Amino acid sequence: MTPEQVDVVRSSFEVVADRADDAARHFYKKLFSIAPEVRPMFTSDMKAQGRMFVSMLSNVVDRLDRPEEIAPLLEGLAIRHRDYGVRPEHYGPVGAALLYAIAYVHQDEFNREIRGAWVEAFSLLANGMIESAENQVFSSTAAE
């Protein structure tokens, strides 16, 4: 990601954080509509789940310009999500739902620049998590 994209993600995330409940609600509503097969993975209180989601996003956004800090964070997320049953093909719908939620909370202010920066940020996140999960599986299989 470019420094400019990092700045766009960070500044646009302020709106997401200010409207965290709305953003999370619309994220999960969209996710479950485009990928209903993931709904059973969410058995807890969705309001609490939404808060965890926004908190996780905040942690990632804070570290976008520090790859040495983001890699271990993504590895931990990848392992937890893999254990919940998340597969690589789930990341596409998650990315689409994330963009939908960000656009929803930004309304008329959502533009190509914000969309492009978030696409890059989510690609970094998703690819890092997929790679970490696959490496973890490979490492455990190789150890056996």
pTM: 0.88
Structure tokens at 16: 């997401």
Q: Which domains does the chain have, with CATH numbers?
A: 3-143 (1.10.490.10)
Contact between 24 and 114 (Cβ < 8 Å): no
102: nearest Cα among 11, 6, 32, 16: 16
The set of residues, in sequence order, having a beta carbon less than 8 Å from that of 27 and lying 6+ positions away, is 50, 53, 97, 98, 100, 101
Q: Which DSSP letter does residue 44 get?
A: S
pLDDT digits (tens, 9 = 90+) for 42-92: 877 899 999 999 999 999 999 999 988 888 888 888 888 888 888 889 999
pLDDT digits (tens, 9 = 90+) for 60-73: 999 999 988 888 88
